[in-house]
Amino acid sequence: MGQVTYIEPCGTVHEVNVENGKNLLDAAFDNEIYAMPGVCGGDAACATCHCVVEQEWFDKLDDMSEDEYYMLQSQAEEEVTATSRLACQIKMRDELDGIILMIAAGN
């Protein structure tokens, strides 16, 4: 279990507790945060869960899969950053307690 902060494009901040093993898209839905549509249901096939992770936390994430990489590359160039990830591909674990996700505006 750890705390996750979601920052919506409009600036609304949500701080929620997430159990280990849950992906951060499902955790958002569980907490009625709907700024990421999550159209593909978490299969790394739509990028509507695109978020930007603060560097401190980005460095602690598992490497991204090829599917995640290519899905992010398909996004508008001006929206993707060096610390972009797909929330559905991030699973909560103890080391991520305190992670901050900025939800991308283009979702």
Is 103 one of the binding residues for ligand FES (CB under 6 A)?
no
The CA distance from 31 to 26, in Å, is: 9
- CA-wise closest residue to 6 among 46, 38, 43, 39: 38
Is 90 one of the binding residues for ligand FES (CB under 6 A)?
no
33 or 88: CB nearest ligand FES: 88
Instruction: Give the count of residues interacting with ligand FES (CB under 6 A).
Output: 15
Q: How far is CA 105 from CA 2, 3, 22, 60, in A?
A: 25, 22, 23, 24
Is 16 one of the binding residues for ligand FES (CB under 6 A)?
no
Q: In the complex, which residues of this chain contact ligand FES (CB under 6 A)? A: 25, 38-40, 42-49, 71, 86, 88
